[in-house]
Every structure is written in structure tokens, then in C-alpha cells.
Chain A
Amino acid sequence: MRVLIYFLIAGLIVSLGLLGARLQRDLDTLYQVDTNGMIWTVFQIEAELATLRSTLAEQAATAVPDSSLVRLRTDIVLSRISLLRSGRSRSFWEEISEAEDLLGALERYAQDAARVIDHPGALDQDDITALSALTGATRPQARRLAVLGVATGATASEARRAIFVQQLERTGFVAFVLVAGLTVVLLYLDRLLLHARRRDADLRVSSQKLASTVAASLDGIIVTDRAWRIVDYNEAAQRIFGWSKDEVVGRRLNETVLPSLGRGEESSQGFRLPQTGTSRMEATAARKSGVTFPVELNVTTSTKGDGTRIAYFRDISEQKISERHLIDARNQAERTDRAKSQFLAVMSHEMRTPLNGILGVLDLLKTTRLDVRQRRFVDVAAASGEILLEHVNEAIDITRIETGAISLTPQGFALPALVARVTDVLRPLASEKGLTLVAEISPDMDRSFFADSGRISQILTNLLGNAIKFTDAGQIHVDVSGIHGPERSQVTFRVSDTGPGITPERLDDIFEDYVVLARSEGRQSRGDGLGLAISRRVARLMGGDLKAESTLGEGSVFTLSVPLERMGEAPLAPPPSPAKEQRPKSVLIVEDNQINRSVLREMLVGFGHSVYEAENGREGVAAAGERRFDLIVMDFRMPVMDGIAATRELRGTAGPNRGTYILGLTAYGSDEYRALAEDAGMDGFCTKPLRLSVLEDTLSRLEHFPAPRPAWAGSVDQTYRSGLQEETLSGLERTLGQDELRSTLAQFLKEFEEALSRWRRPGEDRQELLDDLHRLRGASVLFGLNDLAELVDMVSAGVDDGTTWYLEDALSALEAELVSTSATFADEIGSANLGPVS
């Protein structure tokens, strides 16, 4: 539009200029003589002719005519006539065809007149008369030519004027159009101006609004150019940074408020600031005083592309301080929490160790002869101990649930046996309150499942414990039923009591941590609030749930339903009664606590096993080096060397107990230790206190444990043994010297033969013989003759056992082994001088 207008105006001006120039030229032509001059010349000729005629008339009257005057006048006329055919006149007259005859006549006159006067001497009257006649005849011709010239000149002038007028009109038209166009343009420009003014005013209003917004903003706003040079700076920024606007405008951002960007950066690319976008970042800014502080920073780049950047700053130092406080508080809380967990773990350990003793002794007490009253006391004490143990375990569970360390350890179990065990434990407590405890298991649930039976027992114990605790009279029912799915069965344990019941509002609360319900009479009705909370969580962990229903005054029903994976169709055979079928075994107890050790020893001895003791891992490893055991009970935490390290050592080195069943014992009832135990090479794992029943289980399992077969069955690995001997003997040889070794070995073999031979003699004191054998056994180990040592153990076991056939077999095997050993060493002993047996 604009361009068009410019073109239009330019075109009009150019055409106006061209027309003006043409007008000027036309005007010039008007000024220049052409036609007028010609006409004037013709009129002059006529006038001169008239003058000549009058002069001739005068001279005709005189006697002597004035020749020079006549000649002058004639010459003047002739000079005029000659003009007609020269210069511009010629072209003028040539265009008028009628003029040709007249011009010819005038020229003929000129020639004739010249002939009359151009003779030497004065002119006479004849000359005058001739000239008069010529001139008189020519005058009308001159006049006609003049009239013709005037007419032609007028026509030409008319035409020129018409052209000129046309030019004037054209120019005027163009000028008019130009003026009109300019007027239109002027109006348009005026409208544009008005529009621009209005927009300018709007813009000013909005920019004032913006300016006041910027000024009122709590965030510091800094406007910079492309090179981060500060252009504008609001009041909040002054408050935040301490610089006044005048001090910073024109300076770079990194020279003033953001020194962290680095100084001396010439290019804007040097700044690690977002070029565009609206993401917030944190940066370190500086106040005028040089103090640095954290800011939240948001940089936007103008969309106009001129590189203007707007940075919004928010002083977040207060926020950071609060954050720091919060973090400190959180850390403090976490430390406290860790300390609490630590305390709980340590306390539970400390409590479990004495509990181990109490429960163990009570178990033992039950095996002695007691009257009815005593038995009742023991049962109550044992049941209370169980409850206490349960509480300790719950406390541990809490810490483990809090740390998320709880996990499930599924194993095969028979459902009726599990229920029986739990009810057996709690029945005494129920009886004490005069309650009956009844367990009913639906017949189709009499089978084995694969699940964490320990956890199910825990939940059942908790539910039954609660039921006993809150019921004053009546009975407690445990009903086990379920639905068999394709692979799993949904098993439901319903524990119902005839207690006071729980109000519906509180039914959900009882599953919260540490909730204790108060009885109406004010007595606390619940000893701990952990049990149900833990139970529900465990149940859900297993994929099931724990729910409660209650009717006030009638009782409560707690329902545990869990999906359990079924095992083979046949129910598990009940574990064989160990006491009857077990042969006596040798057991090494590695435990630092003296009470626990003696309790365990009592239990084992009660079963008829032989027991060896060690106070720590180091002693245990040493004892295990001396002879082979059927079972090693290994505590985890011991001074000098702990159970894990000891187990590793036993498993890692060649020794008689490399393959022996090791049962780990820990006061920490955590599953984490199970993995540790398995990794170290333990075969079994249980938490303290080690109960009689668990011990029985373990011992019965030993029957199926692939222990090394006795030596007399001829299965001892010959290579392994000789290697061992070789190694031990060479060690001894280095220590004692070859001769000394030989004599000692010879003496040992001799003594052994003698000791054995005494066994065959009647009347010898068996105990004394056994002591001798034990002494020799030690020497056997020293020489690396472990098979001999093992056979000695067999013999001593045979003595303890009291079965004659066993002792006989063992003795025979020992004798045979001794013979073969002697034969092996015969070459080496050779000529050794064997002294008499002392």
C-alpha cells in the first residue's frame, strides 16, 4: 500500500516535471521569433516600397533627380526582399505554396530594379520613370504576400496555442491528480498518525502498568541485553542485592549480582544460564556487601529476537535456612530412630539370652519327676516364658518392619501339627484362667503346605494369647477350615472367644500400632498393642488378611485367612520319636554363655548323647580338630572367634568335621542371619532359646543326614587320608627331626597295641582303659591319624552305649586300623630303636 502510494506520487511528480519542461520549451518557442519576424519583413517590404514610390514621385518632379537617395531607398527595399529567401524565412515561405509566385515576382522586381539603378553615373528621369513603374506594379504583390503571411502565421499561431493550451490542460490535469493524490495520501497519513498515537497511548498505559507491576514485584527483576548487560532493575532487586539501579545499569550481570557466573566472560555463551524457557534454577548471588546467598533464578529471553533477557530473582536464603533446619531435624529424628531400633535389637538380644536359660531349665524340669502341683507351676512358668519370648520377638519384629527387613521363609509343614504346637503351648495359660481351649481342624485340612509356618504360628499365638488375656470365663475356639484351589488352598483360622467384645468403632483401631483398649472399669486391658498390627501386616505380606468381628458382651472373632501352597497329597509323616530310635551321638556345643551351655548339655545328655563344650569359635575349631562329631551347635556371637568364622574355618579346611551337621544359634531372631548362616556353611539355623523340641527335630534329622560312613565299613578315602598323614608327618618331622619322629611314632604304635590288647583281657577297668584310649586318641590326631581317633571315639561311644556288639565291632575295627597303620609306617620306622614302654 505504502509502496504503491510512493510510486503513484513519484509518477505524478515525474509526469508533472516532464509536462512543465515541455511547457517551458513551448513558452520559449513563443518567445522566439519566427512567423512574426517573417510577416514583419513582408510588411517592411511593402512599407519600403511605399517609401520608394513616394521618393520616386518627388524625384520625378525635379529636373535632376537625387540619384544617391533613389539608390539608397532602392537598396533598402532590395535588402528586405533578399531576406525572404534566407534564414528562417525561407523555410516559412516554402511551406506556403501560394507564396511561391509572389516571392518570384518580388525577386524579379529586385533584379529589374537593380538593373535600372546599377549603372554608373547619375539617374535620369527615364530611370526614375522605369523604377516607378516597376515599384507600382510590385506593391500589391508585396501586400498580398503580407496578407498571406498574416493568415498563415495566425493559423500556425492558433495551432501552437491550441497545442500549448492542450499542454496546459494536460499539465493542469496531472497537477490536479497529483494534488488529489497527495490529499488522499495526506488523509491516509493523518489516519495512520491518529492510529499510531492511539496505540502509543495504549502502549504507554500498558507499559506504565507493567512498570508498576515490575516495581511492585517481590521478586527481583533484572532486564539485560544480549550480552547480559543490565538494562533495567526493579526495586525488589535493589532490596535483594543492595545495589542501587544507577550503580548496576550498564554493567554485566556477572560483574554485579551473579559473580558465580565467572568474571571476564566476553561472550554470552560463557554463561551457563538457560537461554530461553521458564525453568527455575538455583544459583549463588552476591549482595553489594559481597555476602553470597542462594537465589532462585528464572531467565526468559524476549521473543522479539533482540536478545533481551529478563531474569527473575527470589532470595531463598530464609527458605534454605528453614530447609537446613528441617534436614537437621530429620537427621536428628533418624538418628533417634536408629538409636531406638538399635536399643530394641540389643535389648531383645539381652533378654533372649536369659530367657534361653529359663525356658531351657523349665524344659529340663519337666523331664524330671514332679508331683502334680510342681508340674502345674512349671507349666505356668513355661507358658509365661513363652509369652515373654513372644513379646521380645514382637519388639524385634517392629524394628524389622520399620526397616522393611521382614521376609518370609517358606518351608514344608503339616497344618494339624502346627496348630497342635501352638495350642499345646498356650493351653496351660488358658487352664490357669479356667478357660478351655479347643482346636478343631476340618478333616480336609489335614495335610501339608509349603509356607512360612513360623509366621503362621506367630499370628496364631498372638490371637490365642489375646483371646486368653481378654476372656475371663468361657472357652476359646480355634477352627481351621479352607477351600482347595488348583494349587493353593485358602486356609481360614478362626479364633473366637467369649470375652467382653470390642465396640464397632474401635474394631479397626486395634490393628494400629501401640493401641491399647481400656476397660470400662479402668484397668488396662491390653499389655501391648503390637501383636495385632504385626499380625495383620504379616498376614498381608503372605497375601492374606486378618479381620475382626465382635459383639459387645458376647465375644470377638478374629479370622486369619491366607493362601497356602499345597505339598504332596500325602500328609507328612510325623517325625520319628527321636529318643527311642536315635543312637547316641557326639555333640560339640560352641557357646560362650555358661548357663546356656549347661542347659543344652543337660538336654543332650538327657537324650543319651555325649557332649563336648567349647567357649568360643577358636576353642570349637580346636576341639573339632581332635575328633569327629555328629553335631556341632554353634552360637553366632562369641568372643575371640564368632560362629560364622568358625563355621567357615571348619568347612574350609580338611578336618574330621568338614562335613558335620552344624546348627547355628542366634539370639537375633532375624532372617538376615539365616542367609549369613547358609553362606558360611551351616546346615541348620534357629533362634535362641533352643527349645527341646527343636533340638529333637535337629537330632532326628541327623539320621537322614549324609554323614561320612564309619571307617569300619571300609569307606574311608585312602588318598585323602594318606595325604593328610603325609602333610602332618612332614610337619612333625620338621619340628622334631626325623629320628625323634620315628622313635615317637614307634612308641605310640606300641603303646596303642598294648592298650588295645588290654581290652581283650577280662577284669580290666573299662573306664581306665577308656581314659588310656583317649590319651592315645590325642596322639593319633597329632600324627594325623584321624581314622584311629575316630575309631577310638566309636569305642568310647560303644562303652557309653553299653551295647556289647557295638563295642566289639568298634574294637575290631580299631585293631584292624592299627595293624594297617603300623604296616604303613613299618618302612619308615625301620630300625628305629624302640625303647621300652614306660
Chain B
Amino acid sequence: MTRLAVAIFGLVLAFWPTASLAADAGTLTIAPQDQQAREYTLEDLDSMPQETIRTKTVWTEGVVEFSGVVLAHLLADAGIKTGTVKLSALNDYSVEFPVDEAGDDYPIVATRINGEAMPVREKGPFWVIYPYDQSDDFRTETIYIRSIWQLNRIVAIE
């Protein structure tokens, strides 16, 4: 299992696309399949209903408070209700995500950590966050892989 994961990471590493960086790091592009893609700025997300998750993470120290928009709401806002989306980061790291698995409360697309906006150097500005402390179910490999930071694009792929 572990070996397999290492192998996968190895592959991902080997074929990493080098310079296909998106235009603006401060915006989140959401592209439904049959509609025009929308660009969300930090202000756009701030204007939407906010959700807060207090939790520890394996990447941070102590309990921290993340706040932002629930992913499912964001997708719905962009016109994506079903299917699978591909979440991509600034460094082109991406992961596939079935829309069905997006809950009403989690994950959120966090825009603030402890009330502060997150620069790129601090894994911002958009970070997918689950309530990891809530259950063992949120401390699995799959969940960690989906906890993508420096989120930049969401593309519906089917």
C-alpha cells in the first residue's frame, strides 16, 4: 500500500508539467463543462455564505480556524451539481473529486486562516479544508490528497 503510494507519487513527479502556469494566482477559475468558465476573486468568495472549521491539521501547528465557502455551494454557484471535477493547484498539482462527495458543511474552500488572508507563500490564497479532528474518516490518504492548497482551477471533466 505504502509502496504503491510512493510509486504513484514517483510517477506524478516524473511527468510533472513544468510551465503551464495560470494567469492570476489571486483568482479561482471554475469551468463547468457546458458553460462559460467563471473567475472568482477573494472578494467574490467573501460575498458568499461563510463556513468556519476549527481543527488541527498535519501541516499546521495547534488548532487553527479556517473560514471560507463550502465547496458544494461554490460549485453550485458556478453551475456544477453533479459529476466529477478536477481540482488543480498553482503548481499544476491536481486531483479528481466526485461532486457527490461534497457535503453541505465540508469541505470548504478556505480563504482565511485565523481570520487572516493567506498569501501564496502561506499555501493561500485558496485551500480545500476538511474537519480532520472530527473523525478518523477525515484522516485518510484520500482526504489528505484532496486537501489541495494554492487552489487555482476547478474544471468539470464529466
Interface residues of A (CB under 8 A from B): 28, 30-37, 39-40, 43-44, 47-48, 50-51, 54-55, 58, 69, 72-73, 75-76, 78-79, 82-83, 86-89, 114, 150, 157
Contact = CB atoms under 8 A, between A and B. Distances in A.
B94 interface: no
Contacts of A69: 21
Interface stretch (B5-13, B45-53, B80-88): B5-13
B9 A75 contact: no
Contacts of A88: 58-59
A75 B121 contact: yes
B90 A72 contact: yes
Contacts of B97: none
B19 A32 contact: no
B61 A87 contact: yes
Contacts of A50: 18
Nearest to B91: A76
Given A33-B141, A36-B9, A72 B21 contact: yes
Given A36-B2, A79-B122, A83-B59, A51 B144 contact: no
B140 A76 contact: no
A55 B59 contact: no
Contacts of A48: 91
Contacts of B139: 31-32
Contacts of A79: 120-123, 149-150
B103 interface: no
A30 B144 contact: no
B136 interface: yes
User: Which of A55, A76, A87, A114 has its CB near the most chain B CB atoms (within 10 A)?
Assistant: A76
B144 A86 contact: no
Top 6 A-B residue pairs of the complex, sorted by shortest distance between their CB atoms: A75-B120, A87-B59, A75-B121, A88-B58, A33-B144, A87-B58
A31 B120 contact: no
Interface string B57-71: 111110000000000
B56 to A, nearest CB: 9
B109 interface: no
A51 B91 contact: yes
B47 to A, nearest CB: 25
B111 to A, nearest CB: 16
Nearest to B90: A76
B120 A72 contact: yes
A86 B121 contact: no
Contacts of B16: 47, 51
Contacts of B136: 28
21 contacts: A28-B136, A31-B141, A32-B141, A33-B58, A33-B141, A36-B5, A36-B9, A37-B58, A47-B13, A48-B91, A58-B19, A69-B21, A72-B120, A73-B21, A76-B90, A76-B150, A83-B59, A83-B123, A86-B61, A87-B60, A88-B58
Q: How would you classify the secondary structure of chain A's contact residues: helix, strand, loop or mixed?
A: helix
B25 interface: yes
A19 to B, nearest CB: 19
A709 B21 CA distance: 185
B60 to A, nearest CB: 6
Interface string B122-158: 1100000000000010011100100001100000000
B2 A30 contact: yes
Nearest to A114: B121
A118 to B, nearest CB: 10
B120 A43 contact: no
Contacts of A47: 13, 16, 91
A765 B150 CA distance: 197
A813 to B, nearest CB: 159
B119 interface: yes
A30 B61 contact: no
A740 B1 CA distance: 169
A68 to B, nearest CB: 8
Given A28-B136, A33-B141, A51-B19, A76 B120 contact: yes
B18 A54 contact: yes
A30 B140 CA distance: 9
Nearest to B9: A40
A69 B1 CA distance: 37
B86 to A, nearest CB: 19
Contacts of B6: 36, 39, 150
Contacts of A72: 21, 25, 90, 120
Nearest to A78: B121
Nearest to A36: B5
Contact of A51 (B2, B18, B57): B18
A75 B119 contact: yes
A37 to B, nearest CB: 6
Interface in B87-107: 90-91, 93
Nearest to B147: A33
Contacts of B119: 75
B91 A86 contact: no
A31 B136 CA distance: 10
A43 B13 contact: yes
Contacts of A37: 58, 144
Contact of A30 (B1, B57, B90, B122): B1
A79 B119 CA distance: 9
B140 A32 contact: yes
Contacts of A150: 6
Contacts of B5: 36
B76 to A, nearest CB: 29
A78 B121 CA distance: 6
Given A76-B90, A79-B150, A150-B6, 16 more contacts: A39-B6, A39-B9, A43-B13, A47-B13, A47-B16, A47-B91, A55-B19, A69-B21, A72-B21, A75-B120, A78-B121, A87-B59, A88-B58, A88-B59, A89-B58, A157-B2
A69 B25 CA distance: 9
Contacts of B90: 72, 76
Contacts of A34: 58
Contacts of A35: 2
A195 B80 CA distance: 72
A677 B5 CA distance: 144
A150 B90 CA distance: 25
Contacts of A28: 136
Contacts of B19: 51, 54-55, 58
A600 B141 CA distance: 157
Nearest to B136: A28
B8 to A, nearest CB: 10
A36 B9 CA distance: 9
A36 B136 CA distance: 18
Contacts of A33: 58, 141, 144
A27 to B, nearest CB: 10
A35 B58 CA distance: 11
Nearest to A28: B136
B35 to A, nearest CB: 28
A645 B19 CA distance: 169
User: Which of A48, A51, A114 has its CB near the most chain B CB atoms (within 10 A)?
Assistant: A51
B61 A82 contact: no
User: Which of A40, A44, A73, A150 has its CB near the most chain B CB atoms (within 10 A)?
Assistant: A40
A149 to B, nearest CB: 11
A86 B121 CA distance: 14
Contacts of B140: 31-32
Given A32-B139, A72-B25, A76-B91, A87 B121 contact: no
B139 to A, nearest CB: 5
Nearest to B92: A51
B9 to A, nearest CB: 5
Contacts of B121: 75, 78-79, 82, 114
User: Which of B16, B60, B91 has its CB near the most chain A CB atoms (within 10 A)?
Assistant: B91
B129 to A, nearest CB: 13
A136 B122 CA distance: 23
A40 B123 CA distance: 16
B14 to A, nearest CB: 10
B61 to A, nearest CB: 6
Nearest to B89: A76
B133 to A, nearest CB: 13
